[in-house]
Amino acid sequence: MADITLTSVVDGTVANPAVIEQNFYTPSVAGTGSLEAINGHLDNANRAAGWDIDRSQIQEGALSSGKGIGGNMNLDYFGDVFNGWLPTPDTWANRVLNKQYYQAIPGASITFYLPYQVTALVISYSVYFGGKGDQLSEDGTAYQDAVGDYGNEVGRIEFYLDGMRTGSATKRTNLALVPPKGLTSSDNMLGSWDRVYSGYKLITSGTHINAGWHSASLRVVTRPSNGQATLRPNNQVRVRGRHMNYVYFR
């Protein structure tokens, strides 16, 4: 901003209270006609030559901030909760149709507030999970999805930002497949086949960096029951340790 220009007060004359009030308190868009300018309007143009700003003179949270959450209690997701979800149409083109089935994972989901529009937002996350499931459909054939590999997964975990998933049709971007361990033994949920899924998202444009409330989450879906509940146990995904962090920069 330009230098502050105050309305003159003539020495030896009766002061006008309105002028005094204006000089001290009256705000303006430009912020140059009142000492109110020191309340957030000062910038580098007002810095005296040779005076450098150090960290002790910057208010906490003025340039960056962040937070993290996590959890390590086991969370179990069973297939009968997700009845209606089908692997074949679960493509990027049909993400709106299928997002209703994905459940946010506590400890890997966060809501946060940006006090101003930021230059960059970084969200990092990880999840430790495993699963067991029936690889056969009701007619006894192997499950197949659009790329022919649904028999190699019992569920999926995806990254969502402001309520929308951010993956792509390749499925491997921002998405973790939960490999099945089979249903032959209950001890196969002890962790020997578990996977760790880690990643981060850097956002530098779009509505996600605007001031206001935002959300990010890892969400899980499990393959529904194959309709033979009397013959086979239900499909299951178990989420173990997980965390999510965010940091933003002005």
Question: Would 9 be classed as within a structural domain?
Answer: yes
Residue with tokens 């083109």: 93
Question: Would 41 be classed as within a structural domain?
Answer: yes
- Residue 212 banded pLDDT, cuts 50, 70, 90: very high
d(CA 48, CA 1): 13
d(CA 20, CA 8): 9
Average pLDDT over residues 84-101: 62
The verdict on 14 and 87 lying in the same domain is no
Average pLDDT over residues 96-121: 88
Average pLDDT over residues 106-118: 94
- Residue 109 banded pLDDT, cuts 50, 70, 90: very high
The verdict on 21 and 90 lying in the same domain is no
211 class by beta-carbon count within 10 Å (0-12 exposed, 13-18 middle, 19+ buried): exposed
Q: How is the chain split among helix, strand and coil, in percent rounded to 5?
A: 15, 35, 50
Specify the CATH number for the domain of residue 70: 2.60.120.1340
Question: Would 202 be classed as within a structural domain?
Answer: yes
The verdict on 7 and 34 lying in the same domain is yes
Q: Are 4 and 33 in contact (CB under 8 A)?
A: yes
The verdict on 68 and 24 lying in the same domain is no
* pLDDT at site 235: 76
Number of compact structural domains in the chain: 2
Question: Would 215 be classed as within a structural domain?
Answer: yes
The verdict on 160 and 126 lying in the same domain is yes
Structural domain that includes position 44: 1-52
Query: In this structure, what DSSP letter does residue 15 have?
Result: P
Question: Would 223 be classed as within a structural domain?
Answer: yes
Question: Would 57 be classed as within a structural domain?
Answer: no
The verdict on 234 and 130 lying in the same domain is yes
The verdict on 153 and 100 lying in the same domain is yes
d(CA 113, CA 201): 17
Q: What is the per-residue pLDDT across 146-193, written as a single tens digit (0 to 9) for each?
A: 334 445 567 788 889 998 877 643 344 455 667 666 555 555 565 566
The verdict on 69 and 48 lying in the same domain is no
Q: What is the per-residue pLDDT across 33-48, written as a single tens digit (0 to 9) for each?
A: 788 777 777 777 778 8
Torsion over CA: 247, 119, 106, 160 (sign): negative
The verdict on 122 and 24 lying in the same domain is no
Whole-model pTM? 0.70
The tokens for 197 are 């899924």
Question: Would 112 be classed as within a structural domain?
Answer: yes
Q: Which amino acid is at 7?
A: T
The verdict on 12 and 81 lying in the same domain is no
The tokens for 127 are 């999840």
Q: Which segment of 14-23, 30-39, 108-117, 202-211 scores lowest on mean pLDDT? A: 30-39
The verdict on 140 and 16 lying in the same domain is no
* pLDDT at site 47: 81
Question: Would 59 be classed as within a structural domain?
Answer: no
d(CA 87, CA 77): 17
d(CA 223, CA 123): 28
The verdict on 118 and 237 lying in the same domain is yes
The tokens for 64 are 């960056």
Q: Of 11, 29, 52, which marks where a domain is finished?
A: 52
